[in-house]
Structure 1
Amino acid sequence: MVKFSIIVWISVVAFLNNGNVKPVESEDSNAKADEKYENVLQELKAIKREVENYRKTSTRLLQENKIMKNELDKLHVNDQIQAKMIANKRLKRSKRDESTCAFGQNQSPVAFTAYLDHHKTNLGVDQAIVYNKVLLNKGAAYNVYNGMFTAPKSGIYIFSWSSAARQTGAIFDIWINLVVNASTQTTAVAESRLRGHDHQGSSTVIIHVNKGDVVWTKRLSSGGAEIHSEPERRVSSFTGALLFAED
């Protein structure tokens, strides 16, 4: 009986060994599997946390990017508004300048230059000097036949004139006044002290002139009665221009 029991135990052990069934080792394997499962679970949890952090970071970056884009859009809009304001100011300034300046694109310029091309003698007292050659007459306000400029509009004008004296005998001088209507403004004088010598005097004024006023030059009562000039040596001349027109 004992012998039979021993044989049965040996057979069972052999059977278990051949079938790889080891009860004790099976518990160890389960423990190791549970440990591996727990490790994998922890790693998955860590990956999940990283993914969640990445998602939060991505969401925050998207929000910051959106805020930045909105700020840039505001800056762009502000720049456009500022550029339009500057452009409008420049346009208004340009229109204002054009409305007041005689040389604006929308204004007809008023300017002239005329000269005397010969030696003039026997000038009477207060006689107008007729500059008979015209270099420029924008606005056609200068009259080449009587030497007078009639202002086509009110405003600030500049006038300049020169006269030359040449001694032919005694000491000789010539005094020329600028006149608006009948009112003398300023005077230019030229005096020649040596025979054959030419001397030139000139003057320039900036004055207000009303529309219809007549501006001209005349010989002053004192001094000589001759004014010198030549076709190529145009030493006696008269110039005027409208600087700023009034509305």
Structure 2
Amino acid sequence: MSLGELEKELTETKSILNNVRASRSAFSAAQTDNKHINCFGPFTSDKLITYQHVFINLANDYSVDTVCRADQASCGCCLMQKMMQRMESFFNMTVEELSKNLMNSKMALDDMRASRSAFSVSLHDNKNDDCFGPFTDDRVIRYQHVFLNLGDGYDAQTGTFTAPRSGVYSLAVTIYSDGVIGPGAHLAVNSQVVATLQEKKSQDLDDSATAVVSVKLKAGDKVAVNLPKGSLICDRQSYLNTFTGFLLYLC
């Protein structure tokens, strides 16, 4: 659920809650709770009946205050004060709940942002052909041209992607060479090979290979592409050697 959807749902919930709270008003009272008969009146003028025993007073709209009972005008003022107190109480409660829900929404948003991890890089951005290799030992391919590095998990200085969160990732590698030596590469997680790409030099001028895998990574796992000894990759601004990865889901 996006932040906009969370805020919309929160607003609708608060509106319903406030309507329900505002509509809760009920009271029931008796003149007295004495075991024996207790009379009120007669008087020489009209008197406000003072119901002393309160069975229920939901929302505190009924008041047994002495001043309120003695004077109708004072009673109206009393009820207004009660309503104001109730509104203030609801307002404070609503602010607290809004703050709590806002914090939860921020946490959800931060979690969504933290889980966004994707990168896509190529060997370089040179206009002319530029090859990497061959070497007498295995070398980590340092992809220098960065198309995308969402979450900053890829380090161009080392050629390594570090998983920011534990989850299932999709990883893809494409290698290419138009030289006299065929291209090759190893996709490795924590120096352990998970996929091998190899294309033997054939009669055509272009040799390439692609591997796409889904792997479960732990936070902090290192992913890199190694060039095996004796292999060669070549590229130009066509971006023929690429390394791409993204988080599919957390686990």
1:120 aligns with 2:132: yes
Residues 162 and 106 from structure 1, CA distance in 2 versus in 1: closer, same or farther, beyond 3 angstroms?
closer
1:114 CA drift (Å): 0.2
**In 2, distance between residues paired with 1:216 and 1:105?**
25
Which residues in structure 2 correspond to 1:79-94 (within 5 Å)?
none
The aligned amino acid for 1:213 is D
1:229 aligns with 2:242: no
Question: 1:167, 1:194 within 8 Å by CA — same for their partners in 2?
Answer: no
TM-score (norm 1): 0.52
Superimposed CA distance per residue, residues 64-88 of structure 1 (whole angstroms, 9 cap, x where no aligned partner): xxxxxxxxxxxxxxxxxxxxxxxxx
The aligned amino acid for 1:225 is S
Gaps of 5+ in 2: 1-107, 125-129
- 1:176 maps to which residue? 185
**In 1, distance between residues paired with 2:178 and 2:113?**
45
Match of 2:216 among 197, 208, 212: 208
Which residues in structure 2 correspond to 1:28-43 (within 5 Å)?
none
Gaps of 5+ in 1: 1-98
Question: 2:153, 2:162 within 8 Å by CA — same for their partners in 1?
Answer: yes
**In 1, distance between residues paired with 2:206 and 2:242?**
15
- 2:244 maps to which residue? 239
**In 1, distance between residues paired with 2:201 and 2:184?**
12
**In 1, distance between residues paired with 2:228 and 2:117?**
28
The aligned amino acid for 1:191 is K
Question: 1:110, 1:139 within 8 Å by CA — same for their partners in 2?
Answer: yes
The aligned amino acid for 1:200 is S
Greater helix percent: which structure?
1
**Aligned residue pairs, count:** 140
Residues 153 and 124 from structure 1, CA distance in 2 versus in 1: closer, same or farther, beyond 3 angstroms?
farther
**In 2, distance between residues paired with 1:116 and 1:145?**
12
- 1:163 maps to which residue? 175
The aligned amino acid for 1:245 is L
Superimposed CA distance per residue, residues 120-163 of structure 1 (whole angstroms, 9 cap, x where no aligned partner): 13334221011110000000000111110001111000100011
1:182 CA drift (Å): 1.6
| SS of alignment partner, residue 228 of structure 1 | strand
Superimposed CA distance per residue, residues 181-200 of structure 1 (whole angstroms, 9 cap, x where no aligned partner): 121101112233237x1111
**In 2, distance between residues paired with 1:161 and 1:106?**
26
Question: 1:124, 1:225 within 8 Å by CA — same for their partners in 2?
Answer: no
1:193 aligns with 2:205: no
Question: 1:165, 1:191 within 8 Å by CA — same for their partners in 2?
Answer: no
Which residues in structure 2 correspond to 1:73-112 (within 5 Å)?
108-112=115-119
**In 2, distance between residues paired with 1:124 and 1:200?**
21
TM-score (norm 2): 0.51
Q: Give the alignment's Cα RMSD to 1 decimal.
A: 2.5
**In 2, distance between residues paired with 1:139 and 1:242?**
11
Q: Report sequence identity in percent.
A: 26
Larger Rg: 1
